[in-house]
Amino acid sequence: MATARGRPRGFDRDQALERLMQVFWAKGYEGAQLNDLTAAIGVKPPSFYAAFGSKEAAFREAIDLYIATIGAAPMRALDAAATVRAGLRAMLEGSVAVALSAKPGGCLLILGVVNCLPVNESARAHLLNARRKTVKLVADRLRRGIADGELPAGTDIARLAAFFHGIMQAISFQARDGATRAELLALIDPALRALDPD
């Protein structure tokens, strides 16, 4: 008797993509092997390729899902706060929450591609573009702080946006290294001093 080919009955692509996101988050793009991905969603390789096209295509979709869901919370907090200082604090606290929300910890946008073998350059470029969008959102909020009179007109927006993004990266790496919530939250007050007048 011939066996049925293709995805199993009841295959939920959205649910599968969420599981793939978790695998990429835990192992990174380069560490996640095809058998990890297929095991996570309960399909054979042909069904994986039929549903997602390629490992890289699945990774890109997983990154986009992460940005739209888990990764969106810190940036929403940044934008919604009444002041630029409160927004940056909320963003960093949100980054701590995200970094500790899954094992082994950290942020998928920061840790998704670390070694970057030449063959994986386009996956790294996708992450780099996502990180640049994060820096732009921080810069936009700082500009709003200038417009609202919270920051001096001569504030170096590019430098501050890069600095706060760097703090988010530090949170991610330190979470991956096993830092506690208290240790990560302790980074926030010193970081916010960058807003203080010289």
pLDDT for position 149: 95
Exposure class string for 14-44: b at 16+ Cβ within 10 A, else e: eebbbbbbbbbbbbbbbebeeeebbebbebe
pLDDT for position 1: 37
**Helices 55-68/13-31 angle, 10° precision:** 110
How is 83-122 classified by DSSP, letter by letter? Answer: SHHHHHHHHHHHHHHHHTSSSS-S-HHHHSSSS--GGGHH
pTM > 0.85: yes
Residue reference for tokens 């907090």: 77
pLDDT for position 3: 40
pLDDT for position 11: 77
For 112, the token pair is 């998704």
Burial class for 119, CB neighbours closer than 10 Å (0-12, 13-18, 19+): exposed
Cα pseudo-dihedral 113, 115, 120, 124, rounded to 10: 40
**Helices 72-80/84-99 angle, 10° precision:** 160
Q: How far apart are CA 182 and CA 72, in angstroms?
A: 22
- Going from the first residue of the chain to its last (198 residues), give the mean pLDDT of each consecutive group of 10, the final group possibly shorter: 49 92 90 94 94 94 92 94 97 95 81 70 86 95 96 96 96 92 97 90
pLDDT for position 2: 40
